[in-house]
Amino acid sequence: MTKAKRRTTPFNQVLIALQFYGTGTFQTVVGNVLKYSQATVCRSIHDVSRAFFMIAHDHINFPPNLLQGVCDANGHFLSVNETKPGSVHDSTMFKTSALGLQCVQGEFGTGFLFGDSGYVCTPYLVTPFNINSNDEENFLKNKTPRSYSPSGH
């Protein structure tokens, strides 16, 4: 029931939930737009989400393919690779992609790509440099005056 004591039909509950899913906004905003209380919106989202969950395994299938993309600085895709189904490590997928093979052959000159820590650093693929906190503290200890303390005291 809403503030106006009207019944919320299953159809309206689905509409409320879809409005919430589609906008990603607050429940009160959805309620204000559709003229329902926040509590009704909350119950509708809960009920519809639960109903979707109960039937999802029969109707929703996710293929086990990995998708790997490379973007330029403007967010435009330069390469998309979806050739390896299943569970393959990112670096293996890149090495066997057309772009990865072009990089190995030096087709891009001195240019390079940025990758995350799941990739090996190469002359054409730059990855983050991780410093263990203990290594960092040891480095700072050796480079600072004797009054250094990791706790800041």
Question: What confidence tens digit (pLDDT) does each residue in 97-107 have?
Answer: 888 899 999 98
**Same domain, yes or no: 83 and 53:** no
Classify 35 in phi/psi space as left (phi over 0), alpha (psi -120 to 50) or beta: left
Looking at the structure, tell me whether residues 55 and 92 fall in a common domain.
no
- Cβ-contact 81, 98 below 8 angstroms: yes
Structural domain harbouring 85: 68-126
Given this model, what pLDDT does residue 78 score? 81
User: What mean pLDDT value characterizes the chain?
Assistant: 80
Within this chain, do residues 53 and 72 fall inside the same structural domain, yes or no? no
Residue 84 lies in a domain: yes
Q: Are residues 80 and 111 in the same domain?
A: yes
Tokens 């559709």, residue located? 34
Q: 60-111, pLDDT tens digit by residue?
A: 776 677 778 888 888 888 888 876 566 677 788 888 888 889 999 998 888 8
Question: Would you state the pLDDT for residue 148?
Answer: 46
Residue 28 sits in the same domain as residue 53: yes
Tokens coding 71: 């973007």
pLDDT of residue 133: 59
Is 150's pLDDT higher than 60?
no
Q: How far is CA 43 from CA 6, 8, 11, in A?
A: 14, 10, 14
Count of C-beta atoms within a 10 Å radius of residue 13: 20
Q: Is residue 98 part of a domain?
A: yes
In a domain, 23, yes or no: yes
Same domain, 42 and 91: no
Total tally of structural domains belonging to the chain: 2
**Among 94, 63, 61, 58, which residue's Cα sits nearest to residue 79?**
94
pLDDT over 60 (residue 39): yes
Is residue 152 in some structural domain? no
Residues 55 and 90 in one domain: no
Tell me which of 38 and 132 has the higher pLDDT: 38
Kindly state whether residue 28 falls inside one of the protein's structural domains: yes
